[in-house]
Amino acid sequence: MIRTDMPMRSWVTDANDPDCEFPIQNLPFGVFSTAATPPRCGVAIGRMIVDLAACEERGLLDAKGSFARPQLNDFIALGRPAWDRIRARLTALLAEGASTDLPLIAMSDATMHLPIRVTEFTDFYASKNHAFNVGALFRGPENALPEQWTHMPIGYNGRASSVVVSGTDIRRPMGQIRGEDGPVWSPSRRLDLELELGAIVGADSAMGQRISVEQAEGMIFGYVLLNDWSARDIQAWEYQPLGPFQAKALGTTISPWIVTQAALEPFRCKGAERVNPLLPYLHEERPGFYDLRIGWSMNGQRMCSTNYNVMYYSSAQQLAHHAVSGCPMRVGDLLGSGTISGPARDQTGALLEMTEGGKTPVTVNGDPRTFIEDGDVVSLHAHAQGNGYRVGFGECTGRILPAQE
């Protein structure tokens, strides 16, 4: 859907290119370093980075000194009034006609770092298409969706320690897989990606405190692309009765730029049609999804294109459900949406679905493939399309290294 809002322009001229992912309408936050500066906070504009720590030093911004830190957690913890104030100030400083005396760093001269200290990582399972496709492979189409799936967001607690920034290599895991006469010790032979959107929690909640969906909406700072790498053969052997464990612990890659909720607000839309009414604590007053074009590529070949609006549960619903037992949430918690898949084969966010469990190979640069091989590079991409501009996420890329046997 093309929006009709008129594009605002910046004096950073390449930010006005209609194909630029970082126009003035976006202003995503990240953490970068250069040969001359340690890791610090920045904002992307065109092919440049605004050095927010240097802006604070010059008195152009006030974020309580948080921009000199090597993660965004301290700034995020200042709360939504500070988020809105800093965004408005940066928009004014970067708008066409404003002074051009800002500390800018070329992206080509910067190294990007993990933008937050990930306090906890929870991954959900919120695409009905993905849940049905995977369930049908493991249990048959008649038992594909568990009874509770259309009543509540399903998730598991992952490993915050293995969340890494785009560009970090991922090593193929060793593990137990099913053999003819019991478990076999082996490198994973069915390594996969998962195309996801990650939500960054921007406020704490107390232990014992429940959160409404409306409150949860106000607690989300922004979003990243997220690839929850998955060893499907290890997963198939271990997942009953308690769900994924080592199959999901090998690594989770996120994009370095956090696109704020404010930047995505013009693209808010409805998600998938409900099968049945949800319990009142999961009711949304307004749609919690975004018209966000999203997909992935392997070794430079586009493999999938779909939309975030196919999802069944929003990030706010997932956050509200996460806290329904009184589980405390913290600034820097990362919530994975679950694999984003549309109804068609070329809209699936994982090779497990695309190849029907490895039975139907796909062609990648002329070669038949079922799962990820050593040396493969997988990249996620996403943007929301406005009128004459787009709000993008940048790269979310990882390369697979051989297992250490």
Separation of alpha carbons 197 and 308, rounded Å: 8
Separation of alpha carbons 91 and 217, rounded Å: 23
In the set 113, 130, 151, 283, the catalytic residue is 130
| Amino acid in position 125 | Y
Separation of alpha carbons 227 and 39, rounded Å: 24
Annotation marks residue 130 as catalytic: yes
Q: Which H or E run includes 53?
A: helix 52-57
Q: Comparing C-alpha atoms, which of 22, 61, 67, 65 is closest to residue 41? A: 67
Q: Are 216 and 284 in contact (CB under 8 A)?
A: no
For residue 157, count other CB atoms closer than 10 A to its CB. 14
Q: Which H or E run includes 321?
A: helix 315-322
Separation of alpha carbons 68 and 310, rounded Å: 39
DSSP state of 280: G
Q: Which residues contact 219 (CB under 8 A, 6 or more apart)?
A: 201, 202, 203, 205, 211, 319, 329
The phi, psi pair for 77, rounded to 5°, reads: -65, -15
Q: Which H or E run includes 195?
A: strand 195-201
Separation of alpha carbons 134 and 326, rounded Å: 31
Q: Which residues are identified as catalytic?
A: 130
